[in-house]
Amino acid sequence: MRRGIFGAQHKILSHRIPESVREAFEILLENRGLDGAAISGELKDLGEHLSMRGMEEGALLMAGHMARQSKIVLVGDYDCDGITSVAQMALFLTEVGYSNFEAVIPLREEGYGIPERAVRENPDAGLFVAMDCGTLDRKPISLACSMGADCIVIDHHEVPPGDIAPASVIINPKHPECCSTFKEFCAAGLTLLFLAALRRALNGTFPAPSLGGKYMALAAIGTVADLVPLVSANRILAGSGLRSINSHNWPPLAMLANAAGIRERAITAGHIAYYIGPRINAAGRVSDGRIAYDLFTACESTQMGQLARELNRLNSERQAEEEAILKTIAERLAAGPHKGRTFIMADPAWSTGVVGIAASRVQQQFHYGPVIILAADEKTATARGSARSIPGFDIHAALHQCSDLLIKWGGHKAAAGLTIETAKVPLFIERLEGIALSHPAEIFTPVVKIDMILPLVLIGDELMDALHRLEPHGMGNPAPLFASRNAGFTLKKFFGKERKHLRLGFGNGLEGIFWGGAKWLSDMSQGEKGRLDVVFQVAWDDFYKKPSIVIKEMGRFFQ
């Protein structure tokens, strides 16, 4: 056991690659440009990031305010990254015995960023700490400074020249003056690093709690859910956090996992992306992000259970709203095929809290670059929404070229938010399409990229153990995608509410699930045999406790 910069004990694990799958594993590493060191990083390797621009200065500034018992106001965006960041900071202050602080999570109607009410309602605050926002929030930060308060910003959003807010300290790896070797942190990861720096800056004036357990869990949840690349430092954060999640049984997260129906499973990055993250995000999207914050900072089990069930209910509500939006879009596309590389659609019936997820679904299905879904407000004659893009098309740079048409905008290369006058939407559509037309045509054509041809006979416990070393998977490090030529299979059954899905058998006890695959094999009968090329991912079947495959495509792909 070793104690690292976060005060958490962790095992230094060694792995042995079985000979039978060593070659396949080495091909995977080579294809991804990885080596053994890249996939075995440890918490201690994060220490270099404590020297990031503003990290030590911000920690000393906050430590000084704590020594003077200043009122501290914590502000974070209402999405998963912002909520997990504020929760970490609040838990730390509570654990060291510091009670003179307030936490503010904006309402969806207030939009992203620091709401001015956070400043106006706390005129006695000595320090504001903004997480997952603040870099571009000139107005509220200027107001706070005019009232004599200091402001620390812990953020990761893109920084256009000349728009930086006048905060006392800005910790943002994308700041033009930041020399950080890694630029892709999310706010939850930066907040954990900041707490490590703060713990050191307190220099014994307050207790120094371990930053493992719940802190590492929250950093991992924010990192995975915010879709930052799971490489380098993010890989270490996510991997260490998942180990904490699966070993410490932190009650608030256990309650949420139970509500999501995954309490008995070993939690993976995929579970965070598809079960945990959406429930946290649902609070801010259809109700109040404070609900998720209250869950993570709750002390009493009854309250935790109630809040976890409420998040589960809100997620169901969010899913219903999302499906309604997608149904409307599908109906419009059926009435008149969409032309062009970009996709922008608005409707006054749509909720601003759900359009981002709808944009992601449309982008994944149709591969437009980008997809922008807007919720129009007829009273203010404005529309607010979200953009999702494709590799090779920088939506943040594109919106910068359209900034004269926009009221407000910001985000990343792959995702962004914006507000625009409804009357300017047609001109915006025209200009964005022109920008897309200046890009190479091939980036708008979806391509399935497999990692390697893998004989199905190699799929077993040994391969599962080797593939486990590549986890956690997410943006920048997707789960390996394999193909098998002319694979023999037996159609075991159609299943699901509308019999849309397939369960197939491939011999030697190997089974596969093909979600939505019924339409491709609708002319086959149960028990019938066939042979086709298969594109798939390897997975673990929790019910049967054995390896299985998740089929992505079936057909004749190889000559």
* CA atoms within 13 A of residue 398's CA, in its CB half-sphere: 32
Question: What are the pLDDT digits (tens) for 481-515?
Answer: 999 999 999 999 999 988 999 999 998 899 999 99
Helix (H) or strand (E) run with residue 406 in it: strand 406-411
Q: pLDDT grade, residue 56 (50/70/90)?
A: very high
Q: What is the pLDDT of residue 163?
A: 79
Judged by DSSP in three states, 305 sits in helix
Judged by DSSP in three states, 214 sits in helix
- Could you tell me which residues are beta bridge partners of residue 549? 512, 538
> In whole angstroms, what is the distance from residue 485 CA to residue 508 CA?
17
**Given this structure, which CATH class describes domain 46-309?**
alpha beta
Query: Angle at which helices 80-95 and 213-225 pack, to 10 degrees?
Result: 170
- Tell me which DSSP letter residue 535 carries: E
Q: What is the pLDDT of residue 40?
A: 65
Neighbours of 286 (CB within 10 A): 21
> In whole angstroms, what is the distance from residue 220 CA to residue 243 CA?
10
Mean pLDDT over residues 17-40, rounded? Answer: 72
Rg (CA), the chain: 24
Question: What are the pLDDT digits (tens) for 95-125?
Answer: 999 999 999 999 988 888 999 999 999 999 9
Mean pLDDT over residues 370-389, rounded? Answer: 94
Give DSSP secondary structure letters for 114-164.
--HHHHHT-TTEEEEEEES--TT-HHHHHHHHHTT-EEEEE--S---TT--
Q: pLDDT grade, residue 329 (50/70/90)?
A: very high
Q: Which of the two residues, 523 and 459, has the higher pLDDT score? A: 459
Residue 320, class by beta-carbon neighbours within 10 Å (0-12 exposed, 13-18 middle, 19+ buried)? exposed
Residue 14 reports pLDDT greater than 60: no
Q: pLDDT grade, residue 431 (50/70/90)?
A: very high
Question: What are the pLDDT digits (tens) for 289-319?
Answer: 999 999 999 999 999 999 999 999 999 999 9
Helix (H) or strand (E) run with residue 102 in it: strand 101-104
The CATH number that domain 452-555 falls under is 2.40.50
Mean pLDDT over residues 278-289, rounded? Answer: 95
The answer to whether the CB of 420 falls within 8 A of the CB of 432 is no
- Could you tell me which residues are beta bridge partners of residue 343? 371
Q: pLDDT grade, residue 5 (50/70/90)?
A: low
> In whole angstroms, what is the distance from residue 296 CA to residue 90 CA?
10
Q: Report the relative pairing of strands 406-411 and 382-388 from DSSP bridges.
A: unpaired
Q: Report the relative pairing of strands 452-453 and 371-377 from DSSP bridges.
A: unpaired
For 550-559, b/e burial (b = at least 16 CB within 10 A) is ebbbbeeeee
Helix (H) or strand (E) run with residue 170 in it: strand 169-171
Neighbours of 533 (CB within 10 A): 16
Q: pLDDT grade, residue 9 (50/70/90)?
A: very low
Question: What are the pLDDT digits (tens) for 209-229?
Answer: 999 899 999 999 999 999 898
Q: What is the pLDDT of residue 507?
A: 85
Question: What are the pLDDT digits (tens) for 383-415?
Answer: 999 999 998 999 999 999 999 999 988 888 888
Q: pLDDT grade, residue 559 (50/70/90)?
A: low
> In whole angstroms, what is the distance from residue 159 CA to residue 136 CA?
7
Strands annotated E in 28-124: 71-76, 101-104
Helix (H) or strand (E) run with residue 436 in it: helix 425-437
Question: What are the pLDDT digits (tens) for 58-82?
Answer: 999 999 999 999 999 999 999 999 9
CATH 3.10.310.30 fits 342-438, yes or no: yes
Residue 150 reports pLDDT greater than 60: yes
Q: What is the pLDDT of residue 220?
A: 97
Q: How high does pLDDT run on average in the chain?
A: 90
Mean pLDDT over residues 368-386, rounded? Answer: 93
The answer to whether the CB of 189 falls within 8 A of the CB of 233 is yes
Report percent pLDDT > 90 for the chain.
Answer: 70
Judged by DSSP in three states, 289 sits in coil
Least confident residue range of 130-139, 173-182, 274-283, 462-471: 462-471
Q: What is the pLDDT of residue 16?
A: 52
List the 125-131 sheet strands across, edge first.
101-104, 71-76, 125-131, 150-154, 169-171
Q: Report the relative pairing of strands 9-10 and 2-3 from DSSP bridges.
A: antiparallel
Judged by DSSP in three states, 210 sits in coil
- Tell me which DSSP letter residue 279 carries: H
Domain positions in the chain are 46-309, 342-438, 452-555
